Structures are given as C-alpha cells and as structure tokens.
Amino acid sequence: MANTENAEIGVIGGSGFYSFLDDVTEIQVATPYGAPSDSLFLGEIAGRRVAFLPRHGRAHHLPPHRINYRANLWALRSVGARQVLGPCAVGGLRQEYGPGTLLVPDQMVDRTKSREQTYFDGMPLPGGQVPNVVHVSLADPYCPVGREAALAAARGQDWEPVDGGTLVVVEGPRFSTRAESLWHQAQGWSVVGMTGHPEAALARELELCYTSLTLVTDLDAGAETGEGVSHEEVLQVFASNVERLRGVLFDAVAGLPENGARDCLCAKALGGMDPGFELP
C-alpha cells in the first residue's frame, strides 16, 4: 500500500485542484526555513502520489512577496517529490495572448526585489550545517520533460497551448504601470506574473524538476486599451478556467516519468558539488 505521507510529484496550486480527490491526507511539514504556505495535501492521480501545496495558503492570505518559497520547495522535496508543476495566473503582454491562453514558458526574467531566492546563502541551518557557495545554472529554468508533459496534456484537453515564451516576474502585489508593461512588451517578453521567481530557481537548487504553466487572466496594462487590470477580473477568469486547468495538470502528472528515470538537467543541477547540507 502506498505510504500516505509520501509523494513523488508536487503541485503548487490552490484548493480548486485537490478538493474533490478521494482520500486526501493533510500533513504539516516543518522546514529549516520555517513553515510552508500551508499543509501539504497528499492524494493519488493515475496511480501517482501527488502533494498539493496552496501557494498563497488555503485562505489566500499570503501575497506573492510574503510567500515562503524556500520552505515550500523544501517541504515538497522532504515528502519525496522530485518533480513539481507550478501553475500560476499571469497577465498577457501581447494582444494575441488574451484571457484563457495557456502558455508554457521556456524562459524567465526576474524583476522581483525582496525575496529569499537561494538555499546557498551562507547561513547555518538549525542543525549547524553551513551551505557551501554553489552557483547552479538557470540558463534553461524549466524542466524540458515536464514542459513536454504539460504541452501534451493541454493538447489532449483540446486547449492548444502556447509552447514557449518568457515569463517576467515582478514584485507586486501591485500590477504594472503602463510604462513598465510597454517596456516588458518591447523586450519581447510574453507574460507577466508575481510568483514564478524564486520558485524555479529554488527548485533547481534542490535538483527538482520544475515546470511552469501560466494561465492568462487579463491583458496587462500596456497591451489593452481600457482601465487596466482589476483584481476581480483576474479572479473571475481564473475561476472559470480552474476545471480545465485541473484536467491539464492531472494529465501532465500522469505523463511525467518515474522519479528514478529522470535524466534531465534538473536532476543533476548540482553537478556533484557538495551543497554543504543534506538535501531533504
């Protein structure tokens, strides 16, 4: 029988994704970095053990800049997850990426300001272990295998995804000014969000496969002609697409390789370097 306190795959997303699963086990996980956003909710999809973590907390009380990203990724790894799917809501930076567009990015730009974004910060862990100075490659921030699974899952749901593009991550919680938005567009970036960084970077440091699935909920300020983005608009589009997105996530989970069979760059991100502490 499967251990109900273990998982092989992590999904960082809200309660809409797991609330109707049978036999969901809720567990609290402590980490050296403090508490994750919420409990982990463990369940099974297509014979795979999955841990769901509501990124903003189940009551959605954590704004993007207050999320304990280090604790979140650490907690997922500590229950056994080695592959992580990170769906998130974004603004479209091009007219053709309107609300309801599903874009699986292959690049990321960090424009955040205040976030703990590394495990290799020289600070001793509570157990006394001191991280070494380690620089991982983030040239390709997303798992190529996870991306293919996500794209295939979307096509299987008749939701033609945008394959590739750049996710620019801003600090928030405010939306962009028109000038910022126009600048993002002029760089050729595709979508703008608030949580993609440091999630992908931290996952790489822990040798986790990480795949971002972005759902466009609105056109960003510079790409539309009206009053600009409203919070209600974002929530509405997200709510109306949750069911579809859940279908894509579940099929993506089913399409991921066994953890032991990973041979992508993510699984070897430390390249044999000693992190100075034991990975959970």
The answer to whether residue 138 forms part of the interface with Zn ion (CB under 5 A) is: no
- Dist CA 161 CA 151 (whole Å): 6
Distance in Å, CB of 88 to Zn ion, minimum? 18
First to last CA, the chain: 23
The answer to whether residue 248 forms part of the interface with Zn ion (CB under 5 A) is: no
Q: Is 55 annotated as a binding residue?
A: yes
The answer to whether residue 40 forms part of the interface with Zn ion (CB under 5 A) is: no
Out of 38, 110, 220, 251, pick the active-site residue.
220
The answer to whether residue 143 forms part of the interface with Zn ion (CB under 5 A) is: yes
Q: Which amino acid is at 189?
A: W
CA atoms within 13 A on the CB side of 46: 14
Q: Is 218 annotated as a binding residue?
A: yes
Count of residues that interact with Zn ion, criterion CB under 5 A: 4
Query: Smaller CB distance to Zn ion: residue 50 or 143?
Result: 143
- Of the listed pieces 26-34, 142-150, 215-223, 238-246, which binds Zn ion according to CB under 5 A? 142-150
- Of the listed pieces 35-43, 50-58, 174-182, 203-211, which binds Zn ion according to CB under 5 A? 203-211
Query: Smaller CB distance to Zn ion: residue 164 or 228?
Result: 164
Q: Active-site residue 220, yes or no? A: yes
Q: Active-site residue 140, yes or no? A: no
Instruction: Enter the DSSP assignment of 94.
Output: S
Tokens of 34: 């403090």
One residue of 252, 253, 266, 269 binding Zn ion per CB under 5 A: 266
One residue of 259, 264, 276, 280 binding Zn ion per CB under 5 A: 264
Of 184, 251, 189, 241, whose CA–CA distance to 215 is shortest?
241
The answer to whether residue 73 forms part of the interface with Zn ion (CB under 5 A) is: no
Distance in Å, CB of 49 to Zn ion, minimum? 18
Q: Which residues contact 43 (CB under 8 A, 6 or more apart)?
A: 18, 21, 22, 23, 24, 25, 49, 50, 52
The answer to whether residue 221 forms part of the interface with Zn ion (CB under 5 A) is: no
Of 65, 46, 66, 62, whose CA–CA distance to 54 is shortest?
62
Helix residue spans in the chain (DSSP H): 69-78, 144-156, 178-186, 196-205, 231-255
The answer to whether residue 269 forms part of the interface with Zn ion (CB under 5 A) is: no
Q: Is 263 annotated as a binding residue?
A: no
Of 158, 184, 157, whose CA–CA distance to 170 is shortest?
184
Of 190, 143, 183, whose CA–CA distance to 164 is shortest?
190
Residues placed in the known binding site? 15, 55-56, 194-195, 218-220
Under the rule (CB under 5 A), what is the footprint of Zn ion? 143, 209, 264, 266
Binding site for substrate, residues? 194, 218-220
Give the residue numbers annotated as catalytic, written as ranges.
Answer: 218, 220
